[in-house]
Chains A and B, each alone.
Chain A
């Protein structure tokens, strides 16, 4: 077979590529978006809180959930303007939705639907300090999926760089609560976490773009996050040895106190004051000496032209 005949035989096959399904919305999503892409503003739901009606189709298309049909998560509609999808809601999702109803006032079923694909992670979150806060203490201001990952319609991969839980944004995302005065006081959280991190070597390196600098989840875990007084927490007692050891090979008990969110104790505090005093004293001496000497040299050159010079 000559090269030409081979090309003639194979070339039409290339057109088959065009027939392959291209990534895009499902038929159902297209239908929903035909309205919700154009709608503006918010509406009061039955529960009383406001629901955003608009969905940015472009951003949705870029998300990891773009190929899912809307009813994958929106299993039922509380609102009379939409007919319910018909099929019954699975019992596990229904029971989960009632547990998290404190958090999701308008559509707890959609909030519970994440577990359909992300069951393992969801279970971790529910047993974490964040999850217990919602299902046991019934708090409304705690964190669940969307508080960290953003709207499920626009979720991108963590490595994408624009995700709120990516290396670049994660610290700020945790800071939405952990840097907020009223939340910190309400839950008696460690109060200096944001500043102590940004001033630490870890924080500074991360900010400059160091590729191995840690973010919050590097030490505290992501989904199964626990209070530092919980024995299963990676920053509880001796667990620190293996947690720090992930990056610092051979981390020992004298090394791990190096990183803490606590405010510096009296020795570093007054030590720094002493260093500042020493620095300022030295500056005062050298700057005044240099300036005075320069003026004296000018004075001598202009007014005191000595003989023999």
Chain B
């Protein structure tokens, strides 16, 4: 299929979707995420000295070591996040990245209509699925879930790992309840993040028949124009307006 597309004059066989820096940031994000989930899980469900969580923590070198691994991974993840934000700022400042409704990851009203349209399609009430730009609502949700998590789990985790440093910036009126709240935030939102990744990200990027066993974009950074046309038609139209017009007529 892709061969016929390559034959189309004026259209490359594939285009770059994520550059090397975004790809490294993603790899750092998911390796630290997995390590944090594995080492944190045992502490969240510590109920019995001979229970599963104790055995699980022993696999990670015991609670002392597991705690150290968790902190190192957590700091690495936060640094990765800060790097990402700085890099985005740089891209915007140098105009290498601009905001366009068809390519932005920022949620727009269209995303809500897309969700409604897709649900209608699932129930057989609509004949066609929603058409996406560079990022579908599923991908935007994926991205902003991590972004939100960085503030909620990231900050609370930082405060719990370095309480003495953080205590200086905590206002006096909050000391009575903030620590309890930070613990709850970290633990509850971590569970949310794990289940979210397990269901949403794993289904959409790994288990779906069209991507199984996984979408290779995370490692190659490239998407074939054929796939682009199919999954991100609005971005395709933006990038190759001439071709898109021709195909519509033809």
Interface size on B, residues (CB 8 A): 49
Encoded as 1 (CB less than 8 Å from any B CB) or 0, chain A from 261 to 301 comes to 00011011001100110110011001101101111110101
**Which stretch from A2-10, A127-135, A250-258 is at the chain B interface?**
A250-258
Q: Give complex CA distance A282, B194 in Å.
A: 12
Q: Check B183–A201 contact: CB distance below 8 A.
A: yes
A290 / chain B contacts, CB cutoff of 8 Å: 199-200, 203-204
Which of these, B43, B47, B122, B184, contacts A268 with CB under 8 Å? B184
Q: Give complex CA distance A278, B195 in Å.
A: 13
A124 within 8 A of B: no
Q: Give complex CA distance A255, B199 in Å.
A: 38
Q: Give complex CA distance A290, B207 in Å.
A: 10
**Which stretch from A35-43, A80-88, A206-214 is at the chain B interface?**
A206-214
Q: Give complex CA distance A253, B170 in Å.
A: 11
A297 / chain B contacts, CB cutoff of 8 Å: 208-209
Which of these, A211, A212, A252, A264, contacts B167 with CB under 8 Å? A252
Q: Check B122–A296 contact: CB distance below 8 A.
A: yes
Q: A254-B175, A257-B179, A293-B122 are known contacts. Are A204 and B168 too (CB-CB below 8 A)?
A: no
A118 within 8 A of B: no
Q: How far is the CB of B202 from chain A (nearest CB, A)?
A: 9
Interface size on A, residues (CB 8 A): 46
Q: Give complex CA distance A250, B180 in Å.
A: 20
B90 within 8 A of A: no
Which of these, B48, B164, B181, contacts A267 with CB under 8 Å? B181
Q: How far is the CB of A164 from chain B (nearest CB, A)?
A: 15
Q: Check B164–A208 contact: CB distance below 8 A.
A: no
List residues of A whose CB falls within 8 A of some B CB. 168, 201, 204-205, 207-213, 248-255, 257-259, 264-265, 267-268, 271-272, 275-276, 278-279, 282-283, 286-287, 289-290, 292-297, 299, 301
List residues of B whose CB falls within 8 A of some A CB. 42-43, 46-49, 53-54, 57-58, 62-64, 67, 118-119, 121-124, 138, 160, 163-164, 167-168, 170, 172, 175-177, 179-181, 183-185, 188-189, 191-192, 195-196, 199-200, 203-204, 208-209
Q: List 14 A-B contacts (CB under 8 A).
A: A207-B49, A209-B57, A213-B63, A252-B164, A253-B175, A264-B180, A268-B180, A275-B185, A276-B188, A283-B195, A289-B119, A292-B122, A293-B118, A296-B121
